[in-house]
Structures are given as structure tokens and as C-alpha cells.
């Protein structure tokens, strides 16, 4: 019996080393190599507890933004812009402009401000195409950010998208032009613990088929 238990334990340990066989997808401190899209989505969390000592290179951030640029946008206007704080001075300054979320991003090594250029997405010849107007710029910005955070998860990183921010302070810190709408601040790092997955509404509560 002991031999059988040992064999089963050894097989389970070996399986966790195979691509696509990572355990704990519910929390998943790192997406396993070869993870499917559904596994990446399932392991993504809004992380508020980052591991100290994590380093992320400019090349790695550039790769995430390159993926974000693949997101669709109104008439391919691509109005999303990113301002990336990587130096200790800039990272600390950004954390001082996000209110209570500063304590949720204590050890995050990278802070990113996401904006969009106003008056382009949702417009035609300078006029709003419909009642949503610049709301389409915000919509496109959200799509880009979604691509960004999912690619980050695939690469073993974690994120928190924050709407609590001093937009004027961030504008001054990065020299953000007045024709850009400051949207979210995104922290980037690696989780120190696995957050619980919040419950989701039943699908029949949010969809109607006709």
C-alpha cells in the first residue's frame, strides 16, 4: 500500500512539471508554461499583495504593451497611451497619487498610467459619431488594458487596475498633454499570495438570447 501511495505521489509531482499541467489555477502564483487562454483568464487576479524584490525589465514591459497594441479600436485610431514609471523616484511618486491603493501596491516595481487621446475614437471629421462620443475612447482604452493584463498574467506577472488617482498630479508628473484623458493606473509585479477568486454572477443574470 505504501508503495502504491509513493507511486501516485510521484506521478502527481511529475504532472505538475509538464507544460499546461500547473496546479492551483484558481489562484495560480504563475501561469504554467503552455497554459491555455482559459487557464490564463482563470488565474488572473486583481493583486493587492506584491512580492518584494521583483524586477521587471523595460524589454518585458515593451512586450506587454506590444500585445496591448493589438487590441481593436474605433477605425483603428489606436488612441491609448501608456506612461511607465520604472525608476524608484517615479514609482514612489505615482504611488503617492493613488490614494488608499498605495498600500496595495507597496512592492510593485512598475506603475503605469493609461490614457487616451480625446476627440478621435468615436468621432468622424471632428464630430461625435453618436451619443457615446469620447466614451468610445474609454472603451478602446479598456480593451487595450485587458490585453495588457492578460499578457502580463501569461508571462507570470500580476496587475491591479486602479481608478482612484490624482489625474492632475499624474498629468504634471509625466507631462501628459491636455488632449489626453487620464484613465487608470496599473501596478505591475508578482503576487506574494494568491487572492481569493470573487464570485461571478450567473450567466443567465447578464445575458438574454433571442
Question: Collapsing DSSP states into helix, strand and coil, what is residue 158?
Answer: strand
- Full domain range(s) for residue 167: 47-195
Are both 78 and 104 inside the same structural domain? Answer: yes
DSSP state of 50: B
Judgement on whether residues 126 and 158 belong to the same structural domain of the protein: yes
Sheet containing strand 180-189, strands side by side: 80-85, 110-117, 180-189, 158-162
pTM of the predicted model as reported, rounded to 2 decimal places: 0.85
Residues 68 and 128 in one domain: yes
Going by C-alpha positions, the residue among 26, 49, 68, 87 that lies closest to residue 155 is 68
Q: How would you write the pLDDT of the chain (210 residues) with one tens digit per residue? A: 444 444 334 433 333 333 333 334 344 455 667 899 999 999 999 999 999 999 999 999 999 999 999 999 999 999 999 999 999 999 999 999 999 999 999 999 999 999 999 999 999 999 999 999 999 999 999 999 999 999 999 999 999 999 999 999 999 999 999 999 999 999 999 999 999 999 999 999 999 999
Residue 81: partners with Cβ closer than 8 Å, 6 or more residues away:
114, 115, 116, 117, 176, 180
Query: How many structural domains are present in the chain?
Result: 2
Asked whether residue 203 is assigned to any structural domain, the reply reads no
Nearest to 13 by CA among 26, 24, 3, 22: 22
Q: How far apart are CA 179 and CA 183, in angstroms?
A: 13
The CA-atom distances, in angstroms, between 210 and each of 6, 22, 207 are 54, 39, 10
Amino acid at each position: 500500500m505504501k508503495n502504491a501511495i509513493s507511486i501516485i505521489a510521484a506521478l502527481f509531482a511529475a504532472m505538475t512539471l509538464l507544460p499546461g499541467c500547473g496546479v492551483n489555477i484558481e489562484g495560480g502564483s504563475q501561469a504554467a508554461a503552455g497554459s491555455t487562454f482559459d487557464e490564463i483568464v482563470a488565474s488572473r487576479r486583481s493583486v493587492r499583495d506584491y512580492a518584494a524584490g521583483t524586477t521587471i525589465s523595460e524589454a518585458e514591459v515593451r512586450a506587454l504593451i506590444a500585445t496591448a497594441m493589438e487590441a481593436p479600436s474605433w477605425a483603428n485610431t489606436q488612441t491609448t497611451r501608456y506612461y511607465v514609471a520604472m525608476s524608484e523616484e517615479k514609482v514612489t511618486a505615482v504611488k503617492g497619487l493613488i490614494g488608499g491603493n498605495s498600500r496595495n501596491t507597496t512592492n510593485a516595481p512598475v506603475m503605469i498610467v493609461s490614457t487616451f487621446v480625446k476627440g478621435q475614437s468615436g468621432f468622424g471629421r471632428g464630430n461625435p459619431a453618436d451619443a457615446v462620443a469620447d466614451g468610445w475612447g474609454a472603451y478602446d482604452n479598456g480593451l487595450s488594458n485587458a490585453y495588457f493584463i492578460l499578457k502580463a498574467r501569461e508571462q507570470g506577472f500580476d496587475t491591479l487596475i486602479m481608478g482612484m488617482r490624482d489625474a492632475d498630479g499624474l498629468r504634471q508628473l509625466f507631462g501628459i498633454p491636455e488632449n489626453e484623458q487620464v484613465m487608470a493606473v496599473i501596478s505591475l509585479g508578482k503576487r506574494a499570495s494568491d487572492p481569493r477568486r470573487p464570485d461571478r454572477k450567473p450567466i443567465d443574470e447578464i445575458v438574454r438570447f433571442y
